[in-house]
Amino acid sequence: MRQLARITGALTLIVSAGLLGTVSGVTESSAAMSGDIIASYNGATIDLSQGWGAATICVVAPSGTKCFANQHDYQAWTDAQSKTGVSPLTATTSSCSSGFQLYENIDYGGRELIIYDESIWINLSNYSFNDIVSSYKVGACAVSMTDAANGSGNVYPGATSPGSDVSWIGSAWNDRVSSVYVW
């Protein structure tokens, strides 16, 4: 009987550990949980949780996070990637051919965070992008946005379907988004 109790306890521990990081069937990336988001930038690395430095565009993809000084550098990189026929932006299982673009200012101005990662809550504080979203463009996949970490808090009620284009998020949600989910 005692041995059965130990086995049951061990199985409970294993199952609990397997469920850790899963909330309502939705997983959260280990990087998003830790807060340390290391991105490549101009041949070096930067910790986005500590700021962007001179970067103005950062891309969060299954292959990692990469930042760029300007739109020209970003476009040159995406053009070079498309010539290889292999895109680091989307995983082989990804259905999002275009990312979710978040902007710090209205009319798609200021810094830009582009998210390709799917099926995980992204905490924007880990990318120094918490509570600063003022406009956005939804790519090929639908999104959800909330005003607290890990998808908790209030859910943004605006346009979040694929192809939505919002030049100003509105006064009620301006500088309020804390986490996003691409699905």
Is pLDDT at 169 greater than 50 in this prediction? yes
With residue 66 as reference, give the H or E element that holds it.
Answer: strand 64-68
Tens of pLDDT, residues 90-145: 554 556 788 899 999 999 999 999 998 888 899 999 999 999 999 999 999 999 99
Alpha helices in 48-174 (DSSP H): 71-84
Provide the residue ranges of all domains of the chain, joining segments of one domain with +: 25-182
pLDDT at 86: 61
Q: Which architecture does CATH list for 25-182?
A: Sandwich (2.60)
Q: Residue 60 to residues 32, 118, 127, 152, 171: CA-CA distances in angstroms?
A: 11, 10, 10, 21, 27
Using CA atoms, how far residue 142 sits from 25, 28, 72, 135, in Å, is: 17, 17, 27, 16
**What is the model's pLDDT at position 126?**
95
What pTM was computed for the model? Answer: 0.78
